Structure 1
Amino acid sequence: MEETTAIKLATRKRRLFAFLIDALIIGVFGWMIGWSFEDAILQLGNFGRAVGAVVVLLYFGICNSKLMNGQTLGKMLLNIRVVDKNSNYISVAKAILRALPFALYILLNGMPVSDSSDLYPSLILGTILFSIPVLEIYFAIANNKSLQSLHDMIAKTYVVSAKTESSIDLTNQKAVLYAGLALPILIMAIVFAGSSAVANKLIYVKDMQKIVSVASQELPISSITMYRNKTETTNFNGETTQTKLIQVTATKINKDENDTLLAGKIAKIIFDSGFTFEEDENLFIAIIYGYDIGIASKYNSSKFNDTPKNWKEAVKAISILDKTSRKNKPTVDIKSDFWRNVANAQYIVSGTLNVDTNKIQEIKKSKGDYIEFNFVIDSVFKGDIEKKEITLRKFICDINGKENRCNDSNLFTLNGQKVIAPLVKSQRKPGQYAFIKSSVKGLQLATEENANKVSNEVKLQKEIIESKFYTEVCPYTKLADSVKTLIEDMLVASKAESAYVNLERLGKSAIPTIICQMDDRRELAIKSITFKNKSPDGTEKTWHYTPQVVTDVLAATLNFVSWNSFGYIFDGASEEERVSVINGWRIFLWYLING
């Protein structure tokens, strides 16, 4: 078909430069959208590309139409414009149709097909994505007279000089059109042929899609892909090396989500699914955070690559980190305050509280004081107390204060009744005992059911200390080298102070390793430490502490980074008291892993 009109076509060079300018403008606009609405876009995952597609349609749809005299900003600078065959400006609808190939490419590139186990939709999508730029370039080169590219031919438009008018014969040869239509078919054939052993790959995809589906539902991610990748490299000696990977890429939703934890959770899902790895095949997991709206993107990534064997060993360890690296205050609640006290107590006894009722009335009216009272023991679950009657020392809270955190009402309510009480030796008065914490809310009535529970719990804790702890917990090595280095620095006077600070800075992720190092009884070089008080209820900004050996400062650090009160080891503590604190932390960690 031949058309003749009084227009002068814009050169390919001008059109290219105009397009590059427009692409830059759209990119800047996309960056502004991403910067302003990052959180909202992150929730969209791969579907965030729809934002970019809409921007492209609006920009070219408005600017290339009669509303802007057929000129985008790039075309204005290059002095060219878009018209129809009659040299008239086009409508917004036609301008949007003209921009459709670009928007479609942005929308589909990286778009997940589905959770289907069928490989062919992915191949078809790949064909479409590859065909769009190929056809754009092909027609731009092949149409020597009309200079129409794919999007021009779809909308029946031309790009002309904005000022110059002259006659030109526009001829599109049918052979060019037919060859262009044949290109997608050829591309599809190449794509399918390149996917060797498609039938075998379908088996892989079925297994992988199940994993992808589970991970998408259970984890805080906006998208995830998984595929098998094999590459061969040859060195100068002609030796060929094959690299085999299962590659997983996941985009997390929350910026603060720990990448190591997330990778571990993905690996666990893979192993739990029964997925079969080939010989010498590694698992590669990339965790990315960011967005891609097609016209702008921003990404940060962490990459993890190891053998399936090492991944399996790490998965359990990573689950520990998952429970110890949460930023919010809620810490691992070991069943209840009572059971936490059972874990940390030197002694667990059952007996009867005997508090002088007259003394109770005096203390209730006071602003805080200690009370001493008798406790008659009838049975011992843990520890070695031969006496049948002991003296307990208890601090009573100030009832006029802002908050009666000591819960002293329990003490008065349970007076005269038989209770089960976790105890420690009093730090302030030798020969006396104290409740494991200043609060007595951990006391329980000495019913038969509660007594059996305590007996079973004490038995379990003994097993944990004697065997389970080291075999089931301490293979974990996260931050082990850093912790061990800092411990060595504690023994050097010039390095000790910074070592204390840096150990605390390692935070919750170092808790398992610190607990596994608590047998260290070497004397510290500096035995005076000041910790910052991180408790929101704390009245003092700092806490002064005088540890004697490495174990002592590790216990103090654990208290500060975990917000769990499993005990400080005070100056002058006996070996029995030190061991009790250590065992409390070991039990804490075992519960942390096993629930």
Structure 2
Amino acid sequence: MEVDIKDEASVIAPAAAGFWRRTAAFLVDALLLGIVGMLAGWALFDVFARMGGYGRLLGFIVALAYFGMMNSARFSGQTLGKRLLRVRVVGQDGSLLSLPKSLLRYCVLGIPFFLNRAPIDVAALPTPFAYGLSLVVLGGIFSILYLYLFNRRGRRSLHDLAAGSCVVTASMPVGLVKPAPVWRVHLVVVGVLLAASAALPALTGPLAQNASFAGLLSAHKAILAQPGVQNAQVVHNMAFGSDGTASVKSVVAQVSLIDRRTKDAALAEHIARILLANDKTASSMSAIHVTLVHGYDIGIASSWNAERYRFTPEALAADGAATASGSAK
């Protein structure tokens, strides 16, 4: 089949897969991987739970194998979702992607999202790693979403640019359609997003000097040091008045446990006392909330058991005084 292409853009535009068709294909693939992940989690719940943050690495490897293989020439550039929606991935010259390029394509797409919720203590990272992590995660996610939404000519996002690929309708013969060039303004915006993301740690660094934030960091480290604690998140719950002023109303801790001790009220109270001792602002708050969780998150699926506990600084202080009085007697 010979086609006289006088204007490449006129051929590229109708051939590029539309936003909704491409999104639907991805949702189908995500659903399929999610079902696989949930079935594996049902059989290996405790194994995944003990993996902690490394579970997301396992999920990434599974997703990389699926998208990397299926989007390559070995499977005609089509995942199951793309086959259902009748679209495919092609390369720079219009041919199907080689396996290495297809793997690269998904790495650029998947790494920022799988790292996004990984339990990494950014405050403990050396400065260069913190900058790099912010660049990869925030810069990658913002750039991917921006290009996917606003680069209407060809709908090529960051991972497509890295691999020299595009997603086209499956009805177009392989080799006929080549990726459309990206408008330079989009590239400038992506550059700004990446630069701003890389510089973000320098802007947030001074927050660590704030007394309130320093108290949260101290409490976070103390909780992580407790036996059986796998990960923890500690934040201040803000409330806004009718005049727009913000005030801290409570401190909230979510503690991930290695074992199934979510119904351990004594442990929750112990965590609350740690918060009270390390976060100097906690004593003036209305409540201290502690959530004990046990479960897994492998990126493509997650499952958690959780128990929530509420304490007041006054009750904790009174119990502590009563305990101290009893010990003195």
Closer/same/farther in 2, CA of residues 168 and 253 from structure 1, 3 Å limit: closer
Aligned partner (choices 287, 292, 295) of residue 287 of structure 1:
292
Q: RMSD value over aligned CA atoms?
A: 3.5
Counterpart secondary structure, 1:16:
helix
Where do residues 275-354 of structure 1 align in structure 2 (5 Å cutoff)?
275-277=279-281, 280-281=284-285, 282-314=287-319
Aligned partner (choices 158, 171, 195) of residue 163 of structure 1:
171
Could you say which residue in structure 2 is the equivalent of 1:175?
A: 185
Where do residues 95-110 of structure 1 align in structure 2 (5 Å cutoff)?
95-110=102-117
Q: Is the 8 A contact 2:113 2:137 kept in 1?
A: no
Could you say which residue in structure 2 is the equivalent of 1:29?
A: 36
CA deviations on 1:432-489 (whole Å, 9 max, x unpaired) are xxxxxxxxxxxxxxxxxxxxxxxxxxxxxxxxxxxx9xx639xxxxxxxxxxxxxxxx
Question: Matches of 1:17 and 1:198 in 2, distance apart?
Answer: 41
Could you say which residue in structure 1 is the equivalent of 2:326?
A: 472
Q: Is the 8 A contact 2:229 2:256 kept in 1?
A: yes
Could you say which residue in structure 1 is the equivalent of 2:194?
A: 184
CA deviations on 1:293-345 (whole Å, 9 max, x unpaired) are 1221112322223332322445699x9xxxxxxxxxxxxxxxxxxxxxxxxxx
Amino acid corresponding to residue 103 of structure 1 in structure 2:
G
In terms of Rg, which structure is larger? 1
Q: Is the 8 A contact 2:251 2:289 kept in 1?
A: yes
Amino acid corresponding to residue 276 of structure 1 in structure 2:
K
Q: How many residues align?
A: 315
Amino acid corresponding to residue 91 of structure 2 in structure 1:
D
CA deviations on 1:354-399 (whole Å, 9 max, x unpaired) are xxxxxxxxxxxxxxxxxxxxxxxxxxxxxxxxxxxxxxxxxxxxxx
Gaps of 5+ in 2: 1-6
Shift of 1:191: 8.1
Asked whether 1:63 is paired with 2:73, we answer no
Question: Matches of 1:4 and 1:110 in 2, distance apart?
Answer: 41
What TM-score results when the alignment is normalised by the length of structure 1?
A: 0.47
Shift of 1:134: 2.4
Q: Is the 8 A contact 1:267 1:315 kept in 2?
A: no
Q: Is the 8 A contact 1:54 1:103 kept in 2?
A: no
Counterpart secondary structure, 2:180:
strand
Aligned partner (choices 140, 153, 157) of residue 161 of structure 2:
153
Matched residues, percent identical?
A: 26
Shift of 1:289: 2.0
Question: Matches of 1:129 and 1:115 in 2, distance apart?
Answer: 12
Asked whether 1:16 is paired with 2:20, we answer no
Q: Is the 8 A contact 1:53 1:106 kept in 2?
A: no
What TM-score results when the alignment is normalised by the length of structure 2?
A: 0.80
Question: Matches of 2:131 and 2:309 in 1, distance apart?
Answer: 28
Could you say which residue in structure 2 is the equivalent of 1:246?
A: 251
Shift of 1:108: 1.4
CA deviations on 1:398-448 (whole Å, 9 max, x unpaired) are xxxxxxxxxxxxxxxxxxxxxxxxxxxxxxxxxxxxxxxxxxxxxxxxxxx
Higher helix fraction (1 or 2): 2
Question: Matches of 1:38 and 1:79 in 2, distance apart?
Answer: 36
Could you say which residue in structure 2 is the equivalent of 1:363?
A: none
Comparing both chains, which one has the higher relative contact order based on Cα–Cα distances under 8 Å and sequence gaps of 6 or more? 2
Aligned partner (choices 215, 220, 231) of residue 212 of structure 1:
220
Question: Matches of 1:275 and 1:169 in 2, distance apart?
Answer: 54
Gaps of 5+ in 1: 320-467, 474-593
Could you say which residue in structure 2 is the equivalent of 1:200?
A: 209
